[in-house]
Amino acid sequence: MKDLYSVLGVSKDAEPATIKKAFKTLARKFHPDVNKASEATERFKEITAAYEVLGDEQKRAFYDEFGEASLRSGFDANQARAYKNMGGGFGGGGAPGGGQGYPFPGGAGGGFGFEDLFSGLFTRGAGGAAGAGARAPGGRSQRAGPDVEAQVEIPFLDAVRGAELPLQVRRPAPCGTCKGEGGKGRRTCAACGGAGRRPLRQFGLNALVQCEECGGGGVVYAEECETCGGTGRIRDTVILNVRIPAGVESGQTLRLRGQGGEGSGGGPAGDFLLTIKVQDHPLLRRKGKDLEMDLPVRLAEAIGGAAVEVPTPTGRVRVKVPPGSGNGRRLRVAGRGVQDRAVPGDLYLVLRPVLPATTDEETVALAEQLDGRGPEADVRAHLEL
Ligand SMILES: [Zn+2]
Ligand SMILES: [Zn+2]
């Protein structure tokens, strides 16, 4: 199946107005009543089917997220999402961009820039709420704002310490120019009688397709709003300051209430759902609330003991390396792990004595002297299988 965006010739991040305009232009051009070319009917079918999805905020968001799988009958977004979070893929991958799963920006470790927060944003309709727009007595529709979903990759230490991150997001909002009305001189679409769909003989008996005059909305305007193309909605770019709680883990979703798409006609705003991916760290490993880091020590420090300074997520500390510390010995630094507000985790330092880099005769002779000093002269005595 062809990618629906390419059927309408629009980009994946196109505004609702652009999509509607593309549909109307193409639908008029290929309408079987007008266009008698043999392939016109087939094209018209494709165009109306594509717009049926892309012209609807919720269907479009599901398509963006799950691709072609979202178009199957009986598709359940929650089930699909749970499956996806478990690492499953979707068959028939028609998702624009070819990918199923989240488009997390790559490049873990090291440089993390503001721009890393910008990618992979899309919106999702707010369950039944968005679809169930009730008409207010004034003729203006009251709609709840849709939920907005996004994924963000955060640096390891932000997950350990908690952070506040500025996140640039696009979320649906009522058009400011027409205040969500779509234009001036609103009247019922004559072509479809306000139904938004009309029968088309060529598709077989009783086939209904999106009305190409009103784009499925059932209304037209004497003066259509230029900003939103009569859809009454735009995609607004805003910066949200997102509080990342300490201890957040990859795959967790934060729900920011009322930060999603703005409602129209007095409807409530949707929520903002942010799925977190935590980047790896080149030095630190995390096990629940505890952290682990290798700590290189010189031979003299390992054998004789020492006090060494080490960095931790909450500043440098001095740590006592006990005398006779072998490779792999673990030292606990209390409270320097994940900065959970109730009980912070600990940081474990794994001692890694470093051999001298030189292999000259003198060094080898010194090492032989050292080897002869303890009871461990035969270090492989215990190796019996
Ligand atoms: Zn407008
Ligand atoms: Zn119409």
Average pLDDT, the chain: 81
How many alpha carbons fall within 13 Å on the CB side of residue 316? 5
- Residue 30 Cα, ligand 1 centroid: separation in angstroms? 27
Give the range of the structural domain holding residue 365, as residue numbers without chain letter: 284-371
The answer to whether residues 120 and 258 belong to one domain is: yes
- Residue 264 Cα, ligand 1 centroid: separation in angstroms? 12
The answer to whether residues 268 and 297 belong to one domain is: no
- Residue 174 Cα, ligand 1 centroid: separation in angstroms? 8
The answer to whether residues 305 and 273 belong to one domain is: no
**Total domains in the fold of the chain:** 2
The answer to whether residues 230 and 332 belong to one domain is: no
The answer to whether residues 152 and 175 belong to one domain is: yes
Whether residue 53 is predicted with pLDDT greater than 50 in this model: the reply is yes
Whether residue 126 is predicted with pLDDT greater than 70 in this model: the reply is no
The residue length of the chain stands at: 385
Helices 57-66 and 40-54 cross at an angle (nearest 10°) of 100
The answer to whether residues 258 and 362 belong to one domain is: no
- Residue 267 Cα, ligand 2 centroid: separation in angstroms? 25
- Residue 122 Cα, ligand 1 centroid: separation in angstroms? 21
Residue 128 banded pLDDT, cuts 50, 70, 90: very low
Task: Write down the pLDDT at residue 83.
Answer: 67
- Residue 129 Cα, ligand 2 centroid: separation in angstroms? 24
1-36 tens-digit pLDDT:
789 999 999 999 899 999 999 999 999 999 888 888
Bigger pLDDT: 295 vs 68: 295
- Residue 145 Cα, ligand 2 centroid: separation in angstroms? 24
Q: Which runs of E-coded beta strand occur in 50-179?
A: 121-123, 134-135, 141-142, 148-154, 163-174
- Residue 215 Cα, ligand 2 centroid: separation in angstroms? 6
134-144 tens-digit pLDDT:
444 444 567 77
Whether residue 105 is predicted with pLDDT greater than 60 in this model: the reply is no
Whether residue 116 is predicted with pLDDT greater than 80 in this model: the reply is no
The answer to whether residues 172 and 145 belong to one domain is: yes
Task: Write down the pLDDT at residue 202.
Answer: 64
**39 inside domain:** no
- Which ligand does the CA of 180 lie closest to? 1
Domain end among 280, 303, 324: 280
Task: Write down the pLDDT at residue 203.
Answer: 59
Structure tokens at 174: 């009522």
Name the strand (E) or helix (H) holding 38.
Answer: none
- Which ligand does the CA of 193 lie closest to? 2
Contact assessment for residue 199 and residue 208, using Cβ atoms and an 8 Å cutoff:
yes
Whether residue 121 is predicted with pLDDT greater than 80 in this model: the reply is no
**40 inside domain:** no
Structure tokens at 113: 């820039």
Task: Write down the pLDDT at residue 253.
Answer: 93
Contact assessment for residue 297 and residue 306, using Cβ atoms and an 8 Å cutoff:
yes
First CA to last CA across the chain, in angstroms?
Answer: 61
- Which ligand does the CA of 215 lie closest to? 2
CA–centroid distance for 87 within its chain: 15
Cα dihedral 248, 86, 82, 167, rounded to 10, equals 40
**7 inside domain:** no
Task: Write down the pLDDT at residue 206.
Answer: 62
- Which ligand does the CA of 223 lie closest to? 1
Whether residue 223 is predicted with pLDDT greater than 90 in this model: the reply is yes
- Residue 220 Cα, ligand 2 centroid: separation in angstroms? 7
Chain position carrying tokens 């002869």? 372
The answer to whether residues 311 and 324 belong to one domain is: yes
175-206 tens-digit pLDDT:
889 988 889 999 999 989 999 888 876 655 56
- Residue 274 Cα, ligand 1 centroid: separation in angstroms? 28
- Residue 25 Cα, ligand 1 centroid: separation in angstroms? 19
Domain end among 280, 295, 322: 280
- Residue 247 Cα, ligand 1 centroid: separation in angstroms? 42
- Residue 178 Cα, ligand 1 centroid: separation in angstroms? 4
The answer to whether residues 173 and 153 belong to one domain is: yes
Separation CA 226–CA 317 (nearest Å): 61
- Which ligand does the CA of 218 lie closest to? 2
Residue 78 banded pLDDT, cuts 50, 70, 90: confident
- Residue 200 Cα, ligand 2 centroid: separation in angstroms? 13
Task: Write down the pLDDT at residue 135.
Answer: 41
Task: Write down the pLDDT at residue 377.
Answer: 65
Task: Write down the pLDDT at residue 325.
Answer: 92
The answer to whether residues 157 and 293 belong to one domain is: no
- Residue 74 Cα, ligand 2 centroid: separation in angstroms? 28
232-255 tens-digit pLDDT:
888 888 888 999 999 999 999 999
Question: Which domain CATH number covers 297?
Answer: 2.60.260.20
- Which ligand does the CA of 190 lie closest to? 2
**165 inside domain:** yes
- Which ligand does the CA of 15 lie closest to? 1
Separation CA 323–CA 222 (nearest Å): 87
| Cβ neighbours, 10 Å, residue 176 | 12
**340 inside domain:** yes
Name the strand (E) or helix (H) holding 224.
Answer: strand 219-224
280-326 tens-digit pLDDT:
999 999 999 999 999 999 999 999 999 999 999 999 999 999 999 99
Task: Write down the pLDDT at residue 307.
Answer: 97
Confidence (pTM): 0.64
Separation CA 210–CA 218 (nearest Å): 10
- Residue 231 Cα, ligand 1 centroid: separation in angstroms? 7
3-state secondary structure of 93: coil
- Residue 136 Cα, ligand 2 centroid: separation in angstroms? 21
The answer to whether residues 345 and 359 belong to one domain is: yes
Separation CA 178–CA 184 (nearest Å): 8
**238 inside domain:** yes
**332 inside domain:** yes
- Residue 31 Cα, ligand 2 centroid: separation in angstroms? 14
Domain end among 265, 280, 295: 280
**74 inside domain:** no
- Residue 153 Cα, ligand 1 centroid: separation in angstroms? 34
Closest CA relative to residue 154, chosen from 89, 33, 250, 81: 250
The answer to whether residues 247 and 356 belong to one domain is: no
- Which ligand does the CA of 23 lie closest to? 2
- Residue 17 Cα, ligand 1 centroid: separation in angstroms? 9
- Residue 199 Cα, ligand 2 centroid: separation in angstroms? 11
